[in-house]
Every structure is written in C-alpha cells, then in structure tokens.
Structure 1
Amino acid sequence: MNRRIRTLVAGAVPIVALGALLASPAAIVPFAAEGPGPVFDVLGEVEGAPAIEISGTAEDDPSAGRLDMTTVAVSHNLPLSRAIGMWADPDQQIVPIEVVFPPGLSTEEVERRNEVMFADSEANATAAALRALGRPVQVAVARVLDDGPAAGVLEEGDVVLAVDGVGVTGPRELQDAVGAHAPGEEVTLRVARDGAERELAVRLGEHPEDPARGHLGVGIAARPGEGVRVDYNVSGIGGPSAGLIMTLALVDKLSPGDLTGGRHIAGTGTIDGIGTVGEIGGITHKIAAAREAGAELFLVPEANCAEALTADAGRMPLVRVRDLDGALAALADPAAAPRCGA
C-alpha cells in the first residue's frame, strides 16, 4: 500500500468512527435540553378537567380572560446526534444532566420529591389566596410518603393544629416550625383526626432541598375553614413555579369580578403562604412560550428580571412582581405596573 492510500485510510478512520458514533442510539450524552414548554390556562381546563376546581360553595366566578401557567420542556437521554441538533436550535439550551436530576438521586426519588413539592406549592397558593381574601385557613396532610419519616404516624386528612405546642395557621408556619429542627430530632404534632385531637411524635428526616433542615415526608394542603374544597388538577405539570399563577386564579374564582379584565395574562413564580413571590428557573423559555401563545402581559418574579430582559418578549410587557399584592395591583392597572429594567 503506497503512502497516499495509507494517508487516505488513516484520515477516513476517524470520520467513519465519528459517523458511527453519531448514528449509534447507544451514544447517550450526559446533558439535557431545555426549551419553551406548553402553556395552560389555569382558569380553564387541563386534560378535560378544571385546572382549579372549587366545591362546597356557589362561588366560582367565571372569567373572560386567561391566566397562563408557563412551563419548560426538558429532554434527556439524548443521543449525541440529537444533542448536537438541539444545541444548534436557538430555542433550546443544553445543560448538564445534573441540573435536571441532582447527583445521588434516582429518577423515582426525584419524582417523589417533586410530588411533595407540587403539594406544598398548591398549599401555599391556597393559603396566600385565602389570606388575601381574609378567609381562615386549615393545614391538612394531603399525602404521606410510604418511606417518609411520618409514615405510619400521620394519615391523609389529618389537620395539623400545632408543632411542639405552637399553633399552626398556615403551610408556612408548619414548614418553618419543622425546618427549624435538624434531621433526626423529634417533633410533637397536635392533629385533628376523625373529630378528635391527638398528640403524635415524628422523628424527622432530611429535607430534600436542604440537608440541614428536618422534613416530615408529607405533602400538605391548605384548605378553607368554611367547608369549601379546592382541588388542583395540575400536579405533575405545574410544580412550584406555577404558585403565583395558581394563586391569582383562585383569587379570581373566589372573588366577584374578572381579575384579568378580559386580558390574556401569563407569568411564573413560586409563592409562599404569605404571598411572597420567589425566583424560578427557565424564565427565558417561559417568556418565549407565552409570547408564542399570544399573551398580552407577563408577570416576572423580581429576582428573575435581569435574566428576563435577555429574552425576546416581542411587544409583551414584562411586569416585575415581588408579592401577591403587587401582582394584584398590576392586573388592576397594567399601565402603571412596574416593568423589568425600569
């Protein structure tokens, strides 16, 4: 074999190898892709059911507008060829797989953690909305993780009245009281069950978001203390970042008038039980999704404003909010609402 042929063969080997690697379905890269996800009108229906369903009252005031919950679409288990294609797509962002699945956690563990986070977010949304409307709040156990610290002690439907003798008036009070203890410490809960009160001791586990904080391993629900029931049909879709929009939808449903003013509103942001709006991830993707859906205004958590300004919002105003009161004021008078960057 002469020198020219040997050179051609040597040069072809890496090209053929690269082609085989790109074509191989087994060549999975340790990255995920994030991009604009679907939007859901939480004043309407999700998969054939009301996104927020209210029973036990005649109140459920209809709205002529929309309140869109925005999401981020995540793709993982990507072959190298698809990852390269998504990397070239300006609407997609390639991130390390650890951003989506934290190290040391299985897919099942992440799903269980997310289920608890969804329930906590819904509880905070209910509590914030009820407080804004001046209604009493009860804190109940919505779910007990089978392998959680409270398994076999707490039951679904238990209403938590106090932690270590200190009264609980909302989800945040329960979360703060439990989180003030370290994992392994014991707390005493006073709960109402089947019309009777009882004292129950739980040895806390480790909080999935903060290893220094104690955790019950339960999902909690805030509910009105007047026989009214609120059910959310967005678990597994919304998560914590839908908290603000769910809260606004509940305020709209339980109060007279149309909170949206007939407009198409979108937004994002976590919320706690007293109405503080928190930072979220994927803001640029959510803005893109809202813009494509035709939203007239987008509510941005104050802490996300700097990043939000890097997104292509088109003609859609980016309204800065730090709490529920600010969001309600923005919807009442959009022209006077503070903007990101202003």
Structure 2
Amino acid sequence: MSEERLITRNRSGRGSHSIPWLFVLAVVLLGTVFFVPTPYYVTRPGSAIELAPMIDVEGGKKDESGAFMLTTVRMGEANLAWYLYAQLSPNAELMKKELVVGSGESNEDFTRRELAVMDNSQKIAEAVAFRLAGYDVKIENQGVWVMGTIEGMPAKNVLQIGDVIVAVDGRPTREAKDLLQYLSTKKQGDQVEVTLIRDGREEKRTLTLAPLPDSKTPGLGIRPDNKQEIIVPKQVSISSQGIGGPSAGLMMTLEIYDQLNQEIDLTRGYKVAGTGTISPDGSVGRIGGINHKVVAADEAGADIFLAPDDAEGPVSNYQEALETAKRIGSRMRVVPVKTVDDALAFLKAQKPKSSYSE
C-alpha cells in the first residue's frame, strides 16, 4: 500500500509540474492565432440599416409603411484566426491588403478616404433626388480632391486624403483636368506652389515634380477626384454613423426622394434593401462585396434587394446577388437596376404589401 501511495504521489507531482507548461503553450497558441498578422483583409456580412432614422429632409415626410435600407460589409485586417475562419465559412472571404489599402497607405488614410467618398456620395444622392422631385439643383466644381497619395512621390507625407487643391502656381484648378493640363506643360524637377483647402483653411505647399510610375510624365503623385459643391433648395441632414464608401448612393437617393415625394409611399410596405453607387446622371454603379450585403439584407428580413445591373465585370453585381440569394435559400426578390429610374419604376409598379394574403 505504501508503495502504491508513493507512486500516486509521484504521478501527481509530475502532473502538477506540467500544468504551467500547458498554460504557457495555450497562451502562445492563442497569441499566435489572434495576434499574428497575415497579408490579408477579411470581409464578411455587415448589417442592413434603415435609412429613415438617419436622413432628415427639411419639410419632408416620413410616413413609409416599409423601409429603405442600406447594406454594409464588415472588413478588417485578418489575423490567423480570421484567416482560418475565412477558409471554412462560405460567408467570409480574404482580400490581399494591397487591393484594399493602397501602397504606403495607412489604415487611417484608408478610413479617411472611405469617409470622404461617403460624403461625396451623399451630396450626389441629394442632387439626384431633388432633381427627380422637380427642384433646381446647382453643381459647381470646387477643386481637385486628393483621394490618395503614391508612395515615393512628391505628394506623399505633404498632401493628405481629403485635401482640395484649388490652384497651382496661382492658376485655378476647378477640376482634375485643369490640374493635369497645367502639369503637362512642366518637366521633371520643376517646382510648383499648390494652394489647397484642408479642414476649412487655405494652405500652400511647394512641391518638386517627379515622373509618375505609369506614364513617366511629371506629376504630384495623387489619386484625384473632382470636389463639387452641390446646392439643393432644402436642408438635408444625413447621419451616416461612420459608414464609409460610395455604395449607399442609390439607397440614400431613394430615401431622400421618398421624403420629398408627397404622392406615393415608394416602399409600398416592403423592406427594400440594396446597394450601388449613384452618379449625377442617375446611373447606378458597381460595388464590392455584394454577396455579403445580400446575406446581411436577408438576415434583416428584407423583402426586396436592389442590385446594380452593371457591365463592368465578367459577372454583374445583379448576377452575383442572385446567385448568393439562391445559395442561402433567401426569399428576397433580387431586382436588377441600371439607373435610379429603373428602381423607381419597379417600386411604383408593386402592389402594397398589405394587399397580399399572408
């Protein structure tokens, strides 16, 4: 008996000494899984958010029996855990970092750019909606919007995303083509004085032109867009809750127009989700991650999903959305739209949901 008890104590002792090593091993493994980065971002379904609480139009009405909903994608840097999750989940996918964040661009730059694009999308949505409602809208070019800077070029670490270039060497640059035309008269090594608006203040910077990576022509090294002032006759307040990107343009247009329109409830009692960029002429453009947005809309109980019927890729956003809806067994009706008029025509043709027998 004494020998047996001695053996038991020895075994117990060995086990107690092994516990700390198991704990250390577990901590190391968890640290590896959750803190070791990968060269990927992971994207997955976000949410479907009702727009009426987010948008207020002066003198507008909010008597929708249904709802217009924007849809989002969750995106973040993929640690090893998210990498493994994306390998197993049909509703998550990996994207190489360089396809999400530009060369030399920080996460802060990416966020700033996405919010700037969202702001521009809101203004265009206002313009399109007010024009549809019969109001006069003024659109004036304000300058060249800096939407990114190129690593190793003069603008890097001097200009910021969101800066608006209003003049170069005292010459107005109301749109990107004005900037490009003037710089085409210069040569590598020439210095130019850039006048810009940053956070509402005018500032000046002197930059030395360098050959652009692709064309080798002298330039600043920015990714430009046109900054426009859009003036509508009524006040519009949009609380986008930190959502970035241009893909809510179509749905914001529909919500603003519905608040301006006094004749018909465009929702017809349905939960109408969707996505797509909006252009000043009312055309609807392609977006990324539509498969995730379909899942988000379905989980939120949407009845209808409006999808861009574009020709920019081998497969249109509409076809992607339709395939995803079939894969997850969704009962949503997926509707192709090329313009905001297509969306309005479809919605106006629907019988109110209450007229259907459940």
Q: Bin the TM-score by the shorter chain.
A: 0.5 to 0.7
- Deviation (angstroms), 1:252: 0.1
Map residues 179-258 of structure 1 onto 2, 5 A cutoff: 179=177, 181-182=179-180, 185=183, 220-224=228-232, 226=233, 228-234=234-240, 236-256=242-262, 257-258=264-265
- CA separation of 1:298 and 1:27: change in aligned 2, threshold 3 A: same
Letter in 1 for 2:297: A
Partner of 2:258: helix, strand, or coil? helix
Gaps of 5+ in 2: 1-23, 147-158, 185-204, 311-316, 352-358
- Deviation (angstroms), 1:94: 1.8
Partner of 1:29: helix, strand, or coil? strand
**Matches of 2:250 and 2:96, distance apart in 1:** 28
- Deviation (angstroms), 1:81: 3.1
Map residues 105-124 of structure 1 onto 2, 5 A cutoff: 105-124=105-124
TM-score, scaled relative to structure 1: 0.68
Map residues 26-37 of structure 1 onto 2, 5 A cutoff: 26-37=35-46
- CA separation of 1:203 and 1:184: change in aligned 2, threshold 3 A: farther
Contact preservation (8 Å) 2:42, 2:92 = yes
Contact preservation (8 Å) 1:139, 1:222 = yes
Q: How many percent of aligned residue pairs carry the same amino acid?
A: 32
**Matches of 1:293 and 1:102, distance apart in 2:** 33
**Matches of 1:130 and 1:81, distance apart in 2:** 47
TM-score, scaled relative to structure 2: 0.65
**Matches of 1:293 and 1:270, distance apart in 2:** 21
- CA separation of 1:316 and 1:137: change in aligned 2, threshold 3 A: same
Contact preservation (8 Å) 2:47, 2:296 = yes
Partner of 1:240: helix, strand, or coil? coil
Contact preservation (8 Å) 1:32, 1:74 = yes
* Residues 1:310 and 2:323 aligned together: yes
- CA separation of 1:150 and 1:75: change in aligned 2, threshold 3 A: closer
Partner of 1:30: helix, strand, or coil? strand
Aligned to 1:338: none
- CA separation of 1:38 and 1:143: change in aligned 2, threshold 3 A: farther
- CA separation of 1:53 and 1:33: change in aligned 2, threshold 3 A: same
- Deviation (angstroms), 1:60: 2.7
For residues 296-320 of structure 1, the C-alpha deviation after alignment (integer angstroms, 9 at most, x for no partner) is: 1110100212222320351111100
Aligned to 1:281: 288
**Matches of 2:36 and 2:60, distance apart in 1:** 55
Contact preservation (8 Å) 2:143, 2:176 = no
Contact preservation (8 Å) 2:144, 2:165 = no
For residues 212-248 of structure 1, the C-alpha deviation after alignment (integer angstroms, 9 at most, x for no partner) is: 9987778545231x3x111211163153000000000
For this pair of structures, how many residues does the alignment match?
A: 271
Gaps of 5+ in 1: 1-15, 46-50, 154-162, 165-173, 187-201, 336-342
**Matches of 2:322 and 2:94, distance apart in 1:** 20
- CA separation of 1:203 and 1:243: change in aligned 2, threshold 3 A: farther
- Deviation (angstroms), 1:132: 1.2
**Matches of 1:152 and 1:320, distance apart in 2:** 39
RMSD: 3.8
Letter in 2 for 1:71: T
- CA separation of 1:298 and 1:82: change in aligned 2, threshold 3 A: closer
For residues 66-125 of structure 1, the C-alpha deviation after alignment (integer angstroms, 9 at most, x for no partner) is: 00100111121x331342133212221122122321222122222222232112111111
**Matches of 2:84 and 2:252, distance apart in 1:** 36
Aligned to 1:330: 346
* Structure 1, 307-316 or 31-40: larger mean CA deviation: 307-316
- Deviation (angstroms), 1:19: 10
